[in-house]
Chain A
Amino acid sequence: MIEVSGLCIRAGAFALDDVAFSIPGGAYGVLMGKSGGGKTTILEALCGLRSIERGSICLAGRDVTSLAPAQRFVGYVPQDLALFAHLSVRENLAFALMVRGKPFDAHVEELADWLGITGLLGRMPDGLSGGEAQRVALGRALAFRPSVLLLDEPLSALDEETRTEMHGVLRSIQKKTGVTTLHVTHHRDDARALADVVFELRDGRVARQS
């Protein structure tokens, strides 16, 4: 599960005060809100990439508030995907396992099969289509079997058809892995298609909608 309470983040004039929400283990949470409202900031705080002033973050029953990003076991897909351009798709998928010194060949093949990107394993990220790159970024984040998956506007750059296709991919991946997911978006369609729980970020506060 993801449990955030009393989270306070300040960056210059921008501030989030007393942000609190909870997503049950294995559920798909969607956080809605206007662009520039602080949705990405919350995800960065959950990943450990942004320091917080107050509050606590519990992921899968562990208090990770003061842990380094590497120790949080969070799969993170940023909005710009940030694929490693110098590594092949296979190496991108294997990266987290390779860093941890774990065997990766069989798992990478399995993951690629789930995501429908087996044919892309030998390719470099340059030249992948938006949907393909999205699947690779998703696979890279899931490869080390994280307990929590954080998605920052993952479908915003995709056309309508690919978007609907990706809804199916996200649903099936979540079903297979049971990973607790927080998906940040400003598209109501994403929430309707995917969410078990929906939150809205408004004026620096998070409120549950369903």
Chain B
Amino acid sequence: MKTHRGERLFYIALAVIGGTYALLVVLMIAANVAYTTPAHLETALRSPEIQASLKLTLWSCLLAAAFSLIVAVPLGYLLARTNFRGKGLLEAVMDIPVVLPPLVVGLSLLIIFNHFRIGGVSLEQWLNAHGIQFTFAVAGVVVAQFSVAAAFAVRTMRGTFEQMPARVEEVALTLGCTRWQAFKLVTLPLARRGMLAAFTVAWARSLGEFGPLLIFAGTTRGRTEVLSSSVFLELSVGRLEGAVAVSLLMIVIAVGVLLMVRMWGGDRA
């Protein structure tokens, strides 16, 4: 009986300490809901700027997440399955976007595209000559989101491949597969839940990205404006209710996508 009570106290203590954080998250959402009104939300949703921002947010996050997954699968696989000279360095490099202040990421992108010159021409100038613009342009939004989101996707994919026994691929090799075939027919299908998780993490990270966007893509109203920059723009002109309405919209989109992914992932398990 005494042990029973001690056990209960143990779990109650854990729940109380951990619960404070869960409570904070719930309070943050509740604060947004309490502050805004249906009228504020309707005004925000009817605004052509916010509509354009919403549209750009959805497809830029989608592209950034897709590009993140494209690099995360090979990098995650190499880091999980192979040992090579410089692996420690590569691991450290992969952690940099995670720990770097977001503004520094944006500033670094700005320098890469505009101040590194090859043959007297910067990357941005060379791209401009070919009709493509990144700095302070829509493509820059995707690059800024991708540059941070990909690091999170790589971490997720590495974990996925580390948990998958190499033995299944080895058996596929003995059954007649080349490395490519084993990867395509066995490894990737088995990693699909991890890929979905990596895509979701990258998508969510892209949705919340602001610092690198501000510096590299700018927050030009109706042009390079995504929902995170809409919150900033609304606040900067003193429209707190607009900022809160857009924040709520972001919460709804994020929770909706996470629920959708979880249901989809669960169905296929």
| Residue ranges of A at the interface with B (Cβ–Cβ < 8 Å) | 44, 47-49, 68-70, 72, 74-76, 78, 80, 82, 84-86, 95-96, 99-100, 140-141, 144
Contact status B173-A68, CB under 8 Å: yes
The verdict on B3 contacting chain A, using a C-beta distance below 8 Å, is no
| CB closest residue in chain B, given A96 | B175
Tell whether A99 pairs with B175 under 8 Å between CB atoms, given A84-B186, A86-B190: yes
CA distance A78 to B171 in the complex (A): 8
Question: Is B172 interfacial (CB-CB < 8 Å)?
Answer: yes
How far apart are B194's CB and chain A's nearest CB, in angstroms? 13
B37 at the interface (CB under 8 A from A): no
B18 CB-CB contact with A under 8 Å: no
Residue of B nearest to A46 (CB): B174
Contact partners of A95 in chain B: CB under 8 A: 172, 175, 185
Are B167 and A78 in touch, CB under 8 angstroms?
Answer: yes
Contacting residues, chain B, for A68 (C-beta < 8 A): 173, 178
CA distance A197 to B198 in the complex (A): 51
Q: Does B168 contact A (CB under 8 A)?
A: yes
- Report the minimal beta-carbon distance from A74 to chain B, rounded to whole angstroms: 6
A70-B190 contact in complex given A78-B167, A80-B167, A82-B165, C-beta closer than 8 Å: no
Does the CB pair B175–A140 fall under 8 Å?
yes
Contact B171 A99 (CB under 8 A): no
Contact A99 B177 (CB under 8 A): yes
Give complex CA distance A120, B177 in Å: 25
For residue B191, give the distance in angstroms from its CB to the closest CB of chain A.
10
| Size category, B interface | 10 to 19
Instruction: Give chain B residues whose Cβ lies under 8 Å from the Cβ of A70.
Output: 173-178
Q: How far is the CA of A85 from the CA of B177 in the complex (A)?
A: 17
Contact residues in A for B172 (Cβ distance below 8 Å): 84, 95, 99
For A140, the chain B residues whose CB sits under 8 A away are: 171, 175
Q: A44-B170, A49-B173, A70-B177 are in contact. List 10 more A-B contacts (CB 8 A).
A: A49-B170, A72-B174, A75-B174, A82-B168, A86-B186, A95-B175, A96-B176, A140-B175, A141-B174, A141-B175
From residue A184, how far is it (CB to closest CB) to chain B in Å? 15
Chief secondary structure at chain B's binding surface: helix
Q: Which A residues are CB-close (under 8 A) to B168?
A: 82, 84
Q: Which of B171, B174, B189 has the most A CB atoms < 10 Å from its CB?
A: B174
Chain A proximity of B226: nearest CB distance (Å) = 36
Contacts of B192 in A (CB 8 A): 86
Q: Does B43 contact A (CB under 8 A)?
A: no
Most chain B beta carbons < 10 A, residue from A75, A82, A85, A96? A82
* List of A residues within 8 angstroms of B128 by Cβ: none
Interface string of B185-209 (1 = CB under 8 A from A): 1100110100000000000000000
Query: Which residue of A has the minimal Cβ distance to B164?
Result: A85
B47 at the interface (CB under 8 A from A): no
**CB-nearest residue of chain A relative to B169?**
A82
Residue pairs across A and B with Cβ atoms less than 8 A apart, 11 shown, are A44-B170, A70-B173, A70-B175, A70-B177, A80-B165, A82-B168, A84-B186, A86-B186, A86-B189, A99-B175, A99-B177
Collect the chain A residues with CB atoms within 8 Å of residue B190's CB. 84-86
Taking the nearest CB of chain A, how far is it from the CB of B269, in angstroms?
9
Tell me, in angstroms, the Cα distance from A80 to B176 when the chains sit together.
20
Closest 3 CB pairs of A and B: A96-B175, A69-B173, A82-B167
Residues of B within 8 A of A85 (CB): 190
Please report the C-alpha to C-alpha distance between residue A140 and residue B181 in the assembled complex, in whole angstroms.
Answer: 17
Return chain B residues, CB-CB under 8 Å to A76.
171, 174
Closest to B185 in A: A99
Which residues, 125 to 168 on B, are CB-close (under 8 Å) to A? 165, 167-168
A103–B227 Cα gap in the complex (Å)? 54
For B171, the chain A residues whose CB sits under 8 A away are 76, 78, 82, 140
List B contacts of A48 (CB < 8 A): 173-174
Q: How far is the CA of A78 from the CA of B167 in the complex (A)?
A: 8
- In this complex, what residue of B is CB-closest to A95? B175
CA A69 to CA B181, docked complex, whole Å: 13
- Chain B nearest CB, measured from A64 CB (Å): 12
A63 to chain B, nearest CB (A): 18
Tell me the complex Cα distance, A144–B177, Å. Answer: 12
